[in-house]
Amino acid sequence: MAEYFNEPSRTFNEYLLIPGYSSKECRVENVCLKTPIVKFKAGEEPSLTMNIPLVSAIMQAVSDDRMAVALAKEGGISFIYGSQTIEQQAAMVAKVKSYKAGFVPSDANIRPDQTLQDLLDLKERTGHSTTAVTEDGTSEGKMVGLVTSRDYRISRMDRSTKVREFMTPFEKLTTGKDGISLHDANDMLWENKLNALPIIDDQQRLRYFVFRKDYEAHKQNQDELLDAEKQYIVGAGINTRDYAERIPALVDAGVDVICMDSSEGYSEWQGTTLKWIRDNYGDSVKCGAGNVVDAEGFRYLADAGADFVKIGIGGGSICITREQKGIGRGQASAVQDVARARDEYFKEKGIYIPICSDGGIVYDYHMTLALAMGADFLMLGRYFARFDESPSARLTVNGNYVKEYWGEGSNRARNWQRYDLGGDQKLSFEEGVDSYVPYAGPLSQNVRQSLQKVKSTMCNCGCTSLKELRENSKMTLVSATSIVEGGAHDVIKKDISYNTNR
């Protein structure tokens, strides 16, 4: 007879936090969200921490080098997706590690023989109004001009007009030489009243842009996550098939932490992979494992040598593992169970192994609930897929901007390694869907707003650190009717568009 859990499988939506006593010190500016990402011994400091408790999911539609830089600027870590060639993934990691803060590689480029319509299509895809004109239309090509929104008027120009006819030619541009300091580049921006300064090499090839708008943003990035060499921290996903070739390439590229990407991690495959890492690298390579949903799975991966353990099966917005295979657990129940196991392991072994809640986050307040239930940090897919910095295309569907978002178990990604059970090297059936998510704009302002809500709720609970939140928060189950009561009800909501010019 099967073993049964007495408690139902619960989601974050079934809980609310109960306010606690808030002292005068419980102010948003006093809240610290710093959290460990890898295991450490009692009395010691972890070798790797984050300044915010958010990491981006190991997905094609979410985590590439651009996302990694954007999230590191805010204090989190992106795990660059592993469902690509080893060379491509290692190149993305190397690109993040070589990124110079304030110097932005151009991802909006066009040839001079293309048309205004081509330019408008490019702007639609990227959202950028500053476009480099290079001979071959690549970011590394010889720069021949620049186009901004001031160079053309859509209402008075033919869409077939060639870019060369309205661009600002290179000879009229103010440019900086490759190797210039950020301080001097910013001085050039201000002295010449520019919004963007192209940085070129001796062959007139475009290397970077320095933007005026980034100056203040850089000053505000107090939480940016840097290593000892002042390079951004970056993670990467691996699988349990080609790890012996992939991990050395990622290490050579400078990766700071890796994580096994699997829909279900309580397996000998992950134990074998962790043993290989320890045999070949000792503790110098930090590797997370998962996913699991109960104490037994956590204990197995902890004993196998995982640096952190990821929780969640079937809770992601594009994941259909539960309906396809009938396995999984409500994310709230899974986090609570694994958090208890982590604390028991710490008392027994004196080793604290952080846990990551992966999936089940629908609203911002679910982040606070997951952290209060014991998660050290959260892995998010749909949340980050909505932003400018995600790799997917921005489209217009039914008059609304959306971003494409697909699961690693979808036919589009075909990441069979993530669902590998030692059989044929193929995806036998789908465990993810292909979808759209509402476009939400830049990562920075969205992450800061979400974490402002987390900090505010923590203050309501009388907590100014995540450790205090885990130890001191109070929580209650909610009924279906209390969920209705918690939203706007028994009123007719106004839908007013305010005139901002008043």
pLDDT in tens, 356-414: 999 999 999 999 999 999 999 999 999 999 999 999 989 999 999 999 998 777 766 56
Q: Is the pLDDT reported for residue 152 higher than 50?
A: yes
More confident call, 44 vs 420? 44
β strands within 111-152, DSSP E: 131-134, 143-147
pLDDT at 500: 46
Percent of the chain with pLDDT over 90: 70
80-to-66, 76, 232, 278 alpha-carbon distances in Å: 10, 13, 13, 22
Q: Is the pLDDT reported for residue 221 higher than 90?
A: no
Mean pLDDT of 19-23: 95
**Residue of 299, 342, 382, 418 with catalytic role:** 418
User: Rounded to an integer, what is the distance from CA 42 to the centroid of its chain?
Assistant: 29
Q: Is 341 exposed, middle or buried (0-12, 13-18, 19+ CB in 10 A)?
A: buried
Q: Is the pLDDT reported for residue 78 higher than 70?
A: yes
**Residue of 319, 356, 459, 463 with catalytic role:** 319
More confident call, 298 vs 412? 298
Q: Is the pLDDT reported for residue 270 higher than 90?
A: yes
pLDDT at 478: 93
pLDDT at 489: 72
199-to-88, 108, 126, 294, 459 alpha-carbon distances in Å: 25, 15, 20, 52, 45
pLDDT at 418: 54
More confident call, 220 vs 350? 350
Neighbours of 319 (CB within 10 A): 25
Please tell me which of 210-214, 289-293, 319-323 the model is most confident about, judged by mean pLDDT. 289-293
Q: Is the pLDDT reported for residue 50 higher than 90?
A: yes
Enter the pTM of the model: 0.79
Please tell me which of 218-232, 259-273, 471-485 the model is most confident about, judged by mean pLDDT. 259-273
pLDDT at 317: 77
Mean pLDDT of 163-189: 91
Is 319 among the catalytic positions? yes
**pLDDT class for 197, splitting at 50, 70, 90?**
very high
| CA end-to-end span of the chain | 71
Strands 355-358 and 308-311: parallel
Helix axes 295-304, 268-281, angle to 10 degrees: 30
